[in-house]
RNA sequence: UGGCCCGUGGAGCAAUUGGUAGCUCACCAGAUUUUGAUUCUGGGUGUUCCUGGUUCGAGUCCAGGCGGGCCAGCCA
């Protein structure tokens, strides 16, 4: 693994594994699995689980399987299978030859169900879904037995076989466990394990089956079949663990994996729920699953987040059972850390303001040296053209300002990054009074040298007007205005908190000519602005589109905010 | 008058299993800087949810509270 500078910090799950290893539980093996349902795209919460499961396998010299939990053909789709595989790989993990589907085990699962019936531990129930709900009781009241609970093994066997043979319509019958209708744990009140689904084409098994097993039954047995030792899942499955164990104990499987639950990841100002992400996509609040504003792995990738940054993030957030909401700042610091080290430096002007250097010869062009990375000489130099007309950023000029503003002021001086010091002599405005152009002069003695007898503290970036490439730059802001849009006091639908300004498109930017060679996905630091990457779209229309991954830390913005 | 789980600075996690609270992010101050970036230095901003108890000693153990999360799909 290329990205594992430091090992993941220990956590309670690793402690359990250490103890298991010491006692030689699970024959001293460590075998985990990442079990996504292919009903949507992976998001950063899944990254936490992927890093946990694959990370543990790596560190303990064990194995980690990729297993699609595909027991609900109504919701699942091959498109998602493809996307999920791509995302796991991109994140930096390898399941080698261990790609599985729960549907691979449909026959075995069916046979286990038959075994359960034979043991008198499961029965076919004719109650409708609504009736089952009524019979189930409530959190504080016990349920009551289904009238079909005492069917004979023989009858159950026949009925179940007929279910499989397609003799009954959807919803007319279900196979249930026979455990305890009075259990305080609802999962133990004869939960359903097989339902009838006609007329759906399963992406893996086609029309071979018209009965599909449920999660609780499928998951533990799939784990057992694969010889998983530690089955890691999120907290909401805690109540399911007794059922997980019940199936394996009752069916006396050779392996009995250990289910361990940890808390999900919540990130401020976004949502990490597949259902809600799907809703944002479907209702058109964003432009697809890979919209750079989304915390999906596809979106983060397109935004310019790196696998290394996400891995670091997953290490830093840790693993516990406590509910938590991580600040966006932590994620951002992880990308900045990676990109500061690895991204090439370039210059780009986001809000162009034309500057004419009056004492610079009309037809002269100088090619100046600029470091690709100021702290890494091995990345070499590039040549950047300078000519009489350049663009600087509107925000880097003020007609007048306090001494704190160390950029260009009318009558003042500033250094052009990697070039000369210029002085602003004249401010040109249009009829509305907007500044449209600056007339400046440059000091030819200041290339790579400080001017005589005076200090120039400010440095601003620029591009040569005749050489620069026009580009579109997309700036992203938080998708929601509320830190926890799905859990607010007002109890409104989370979409009520969508940030209307989450996307700012700057259509008239100028980027340095060296960027002509960039290919989609390439990442750069646009000096003094932030980290950007070339978007995959746009090129077809002959447009250069850059996505801002994250801005540079901006202490000037803080100073300004205070005053 | 249900069951299970959780509770350490603003955030996320640690604390050799009973030895006097630490790390990262954020934040504040300063130094360096041809990126107001990076880097470096300094700063703790904590009643370890509360109240009792055991103990020489409790974030860790016990009891009782309080606060929060999850569970009544033929979803996963």
For residue A134, give the nucleotide whose C1' atom is nearest its CA: B72
Q: Beta partners for A326?
A: A267
Distance from CA of residue A76 to its chain's centroid? 20
Identify, with chain letter, the residue nearest to nucleotide B75 (CA–C1').
A72
For residue A197, give the nucleotide whose C1' atom is nearest its CA: B74
Instruction: Output the distance from A100 CA to B18 C1' rounded to whole Å.
Output: 47
For residue A239, give the nucleotide whose C1' atom is nearest its CA: B4
Which listed residue (A37, A161, A366, A472) is catalytic?
Answer: A37
Which listed residue (A29, A189, A274, A293) is catalytic?
Answer: A274
Instruction: Output the distance from A483 CA to B74 C1' rounded to whole Å.
Output: 36
Identify, with chain letter, the residue nearest to nucleotide B38 (CA–C1').
A340
Which listed residue (A264, A316, A398, A478) is catalytic?
Answer: A264
Identify, with chain letter, the residue nearest to nucleotide B76 (CA–C1').
A215
Q: What is the pLDDT of residue A3?
A: 43
For residue A241, give the nucleotide whose C1' atom is nearest its CA: B4
**For A211, which DSSP code?**
E
Cα–Cα distance measured from residue A437 to residue A357, given in angstroms and rounded to the nearest whole number: 11
The mean pLDDT values, 10 residues at a time, for chain A of 563 residues are 62 95 94 98 98 97 98 97 98 98 98 98 98 97 97 98 98 98 97 97 98 98 98 98 98 98 97 97 97 98 98 97 97 98 98 98 96 96 98 97 93 97 97 97 95 91 98 98 90 93 98 96 98 90 94 94 77
- Which element (helix H / strand E) includes A525? strand A523-526
- The ipTM, to two decimals, is 0.96
Instruction: Output the distance from A535 CA to B50 C1' rounded to whole Å.
Output: 54
What is the b/e burial string over A79-110, where b = at least 16 CB atoms within 10 angstroms of the residue's CB? Answer: ebbebbbebbebbbbebeeeebbbbbbbeebb
Instruction: Output the distance from A302 CA to B71 C1' rounded to whole Å.
Output: 37
Q: Tokens 């983060």 correspond to what residue?
A: A300
Instruction: Output the distance from A12 CA to B58 C1' rounded to whole Å.
Output: 21
DSSP string covering A448-473 = TSPPTT-----EE-EEETTTPEEEEE
Cα–Cα distance measured from residue A513 to residue A356, given in angstroms and rounded to the nearest whole number: 19
Q: What are phi and psi of A268, to 5 degrees?
A: -65, 150
Reply yes or no on whether A61 is catalytic.
no
Instruction: Output the distance from A319 CA to B27 C1' rounded to whole Å.
Output: 25
Q: What is the pLDDT of residue A4?
A: 44
CB atoms within 10 A of CB A297: 27
Q: What is the pLDDT of residue A538?
A: 78
Instruction: Output the distance from A259 CA to B20 C1' rounded to whole Å.
Output: 36
Cα–Cα distance measured from residue A63 to residue A259, given in angstroms and rounded to the nearest whole number: 16
For residue A217, give the nucleotide whose C1' atom is nearest its CA: B76
Identify, with chain letter, the residue nearest to nucleotide B1 (CA–C1').
A140
For residue A327, give the nucleotide whose C1' atom is nearest its CA: B11
In sign, the C-alpha dihedral spanning A504, A510, A512, A514 is positive
List all nucleotides in chain B with at least one atom under 7 A from a protein Cβ: 1-8, 10-15, 17, 24-28, 34-39, 68-76
| In contact, A349 and A391? CB cutoff 8 Å | yes
Reply yes or no on whether A274 is catalytic.
yes
Identify, with chain letter, the residue nearest to nucleotide B34 (CA–C1').
A417
Cα–Cα distance measured from residue A182 to residue A190, given in angstroms and rounded to the nearest whole number: 10
Identify, with chain letter, the residue nearest to nucleotide B2 (CA–C1').
A140
Reply yes or no on whether A264 is catalytic.
yes
Identify, with chain letter, the residue nearest to nucleotide B12 (CA–C1').
A317
Instruction: Output the distance from A322 CA to B69 C1' rounded to whole Å.
Output: 9
Stated pTM of the model: 0.96
**For A343, which DSSP code?**
P
What is the b/e burial string over A373-390, where b = at least 16 CB atoms within 10 angstroms of the residue's CB? Answer: beeeeeeeebebbbbbbb
DSSP string covering A353-388 = EEEEETTS-TT--EEEEEESSTT-GGG-EEEEEE-S
For residue A266, give the nucleotide whose C1' atom is nearest its CA: B12
Q: In angstroms, what CA-CA distances link A61 with A24, A29, A46, A68, A228? A: 15, 9, 22, 23, 14
């Amino acid at each position: 693994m290329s990205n594992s500078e430091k090992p993941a910090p220990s956590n309670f799950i690793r402690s359990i594994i250490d103890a298991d290893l010491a006692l030689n539980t699970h024959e001293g093996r460590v075998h985990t699995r990442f079990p996504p349902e292919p009903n949507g795209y992976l998001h950063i919460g899944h990254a936490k689980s992927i890093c946990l499961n694959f990370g543990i396998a790596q560190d303990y010299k064990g194995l980690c399987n990729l297993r699609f939990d595909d027991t609900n053909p109504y919701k699942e789709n091959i498109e998602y299978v493809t996307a999920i595989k791509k995302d796991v790989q991109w994140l930096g993990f390898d399941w080698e030859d261990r790609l599985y589907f729960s549907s691979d085990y449909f026959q075995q699962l069916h046979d286990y169900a038959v075994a359960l019936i034979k043991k008198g531990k499961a029965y076919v129930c004719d109650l409708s879904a609504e009736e089952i709900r009524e019979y189930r009781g409530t959190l504080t009241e016990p349920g009551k037995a289904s009238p079909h609970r005492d069917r004979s093994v023989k009858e159950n066997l026949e009925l179940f076989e007929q279910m499989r043979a397609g003799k009954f319509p959807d919803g007319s019958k279900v196979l249930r466990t026979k455990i305890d209708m009075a259990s305080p744990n609802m999962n133990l009140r004869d939960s359903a394990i097989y339902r009838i689904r006609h007329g759906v084409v399963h992406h893996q098994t086609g029309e071979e089956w018209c009965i599909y097993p449920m999660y609780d039954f499928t998951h533990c047995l799939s784990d057992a079949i694969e010889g998983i030792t530690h089955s890691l899942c999120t907290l909401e499955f805690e109540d399911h663990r007794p059922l997980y164990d019940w199936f394996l104990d009752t069916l006396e499987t050779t392996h009995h994996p250990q289910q361990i639950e940890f808390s999900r990841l919540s990130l401020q100002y976004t949502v990490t729920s597949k259902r809600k992400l799907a809703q944002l996509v479907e209702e058109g609040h964003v432009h697809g699953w890979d919209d750079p504003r989304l915390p999906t792995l596809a979106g983060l990738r397109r935004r310019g987040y790196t696998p290394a940054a996400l891995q670091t993030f997953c290490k830093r957030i840790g693993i516990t059972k406590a509910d938590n909401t991580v600040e966006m700042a932590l994620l951002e610091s992880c990308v900045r850390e990676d990109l500061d080290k690895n991204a090439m430096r370039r210059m780009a002007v986001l809000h162009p303001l034309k500057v004419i250097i009056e004492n610079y010869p009309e037809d002269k062009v100088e090619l100046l040296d600029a470091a690709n990375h100021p702290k890494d000489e091995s990345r070499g130099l590039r040549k950047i053209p300078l000519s009489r007309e350049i663009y600087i950023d509107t925000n880097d000029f003020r007609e007048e300002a306090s001494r704190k503003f160390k950029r260009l002021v009318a009558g003042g001086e500033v250094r052009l990054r990697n070039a000369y010091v210029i002085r602003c002599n004249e401010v040109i405005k249009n009829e509305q009074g907007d500044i449209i152009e600056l007339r400046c002069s440059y000091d030819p003695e200041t290339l790579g040298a400080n001017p005589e007898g005076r200090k120039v503290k400010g440095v601003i970036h620029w591009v040569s007007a005749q050489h620069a490439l026009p580009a579109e730059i997309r700036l992203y802001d938080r998708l929601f205005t509320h830190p926890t849009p799905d859990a607010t006091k007002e109890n409104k639908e989370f979409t009520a908190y969508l940030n209307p300004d989450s996307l700012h498109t700057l259509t008239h930017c100028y980027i340095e000519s060296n960027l002509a060679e960039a290919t989609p996905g390439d990442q750069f630091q646009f000096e003094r602005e932030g980290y950007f990457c070339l978007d995959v779209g746009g090129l077809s229309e002959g447009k250069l589109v850059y996505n801002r991954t994250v801005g540079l830390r901006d202490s000037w913005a803080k100073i300004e905010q205070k005053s």
